Amino acid sequence: QSALTQPRSVSGSPGQSVTISCTGTSSDVGGYNHVSWYQQHPGKAPKLMIFDVSKRPSGVPDRFSGSKSANTASLTISGLQAEDEADYYCFSYASSHTYVFGTGTKVTVL
């Protein structure tokens, strides 16, 4: 159950786009469409932003989008806003009835 690999940090200016990658294996990200993304502000609980690779829950701005290619999933934030500054984690079903999170990425709005 090794954690999925994410970049430690990404940054962008307001209005720009940033993309966070989440790399796993064929036993997790590449093998299933159960990939989700969570936003976490300091001291707060995580919030679901994307599920089933690319679906947005009600209330999540359409600036957030998800995709997947082979063993790598991605979260893109378009039109970056100050309130998007947070930690982001990917999450995937893995084989043997387990789940695994990514290592986490800090998004900084310059």
Q: Give contact residues for another protein (rule: CB under 8 A).
A: 1, 3, 32, 34, 36, 38, 40, 45-48, 51-52, 57, 89, 91-93, 97-104
Sign of CA dihedral 13, 72, 33, 48: negative
Contact 100, 3 (CB under 8 A): yes
Residue 16: CB minimum distance to another protein, A: 25
Name which of 24 and 104 has its Cβ closer to another protein. Answer: 104
DSSP 51: B
Name which of 27 and 92 has its Cβ closer to another protein. Answer: 92
Residue 45: CB minimum distance to another protein, A: 4
> How many whole angstroms separate alpha carbon 107 and alpha carbon 90?
13
> How many whole angstroms separate alpha carbon 28 and alpha carbon 10?
24
Name which of 40 and 76 has its Cβ closer to another protein. Answer: 40
